[in-house]
Amino acid sequence: MPPSAPASPAADQVPARAAAVWAALDPLVAAGRPLRVLDVGGGSGTLAVPLARLGHDVTVVDPSADALATLTRRAQTAGVGERVHGVQGDGDQLHEVVPAGEDGGSWDLALCHSVLEVVDDPAATLRELARALRPGGTASVASANRAGAVLARAAAGHPVEALALLEDRDPAPRRAARPARRRFSPEDLLALVEGAGLQPGSWRGVSVVADLLDATSGAAPDAVRRLELALAESSPYRDVAAGLHLLATRP
């Protein structure tokens, strides 16, 4: 069954392309119990601030000082500055900035969204994330989907780049110094999560159609959101989504 529409008021602030992610998180974050949330690579607080508005205490770890400054301003403007905390650091070195207690991790929920594409070592980042969670805690992991990226490049008229992505090569090797972003298959993502010692649930597609139905199409946002929710956990639609998402539990 596809996820139902989110019940949280904060869900209205989430773009339609992320509707499936929010629907998956909603049973955890809208249950009425304050959670300790760790947002790795959460940058300027796209999810941290809505979660804080629901009453959760959120710590964002990000390497960008500019992004963390924006996070602080956004949280203060939203009236949740006391529940949002920014820490500068890297995901694969979490133990240096959010040390675990003697009994292991203590976070109820850890977010790792759009991070594995750019970190030096995705496996190490997920191991650090798993260590930070308390036993029974939940990790929310989202990444770019290789199949979706291949089709997007092909549809945009770039078959050479599409083939490079299909073969897991850099689609633009001549560009300036920035490293190529990784893309993952569902199998890749599941293997990384399991390798970190987490127990993954089922995966879903993120932005199956929302990126196609942009503002110029005139499509009603509510209609796009409903369609996203209907397609997110159904193959073959989820297989070609722009992104992948899953929840996993620390045993």
pLDDT of residue 9: 45
Tokens of 173: 């090797």
What distance lies between CA 164 and its chain's CA centroid? Answer: 24
Per-residue pLDDT of the chain (251 residues; tens, 9 = 90+): 444 444 454 445 567 888 999 999 999 999 889 999 999 999 899 999 999 999 999 999 999 999 999 999 999 999 999 999 999 999 888 888 887 654 457 899 999 999 999 999 999 999 999 999 999 999 999 999 999 999 999 988 999 999 998 988 888 776 655 556 889 999 999 999 999 999 999 999 999 999 888 656 778 888 889 999 999 999 999 999 999 999 999 99
Q: Rounded to whole angstroms, what are the CA distances from 173 to 109, 119, 122, 161, 178?
A: 37, 18, 21, 10, 10
pLDDT computed for residue 95 by the predictor: 85
Whole-number pLDDT of residue 184: 95
Report the predicted TM-score, pTM, of the whole model to 2 decimal places.
0.90
Q: Which amino acid is at 186?
A: P
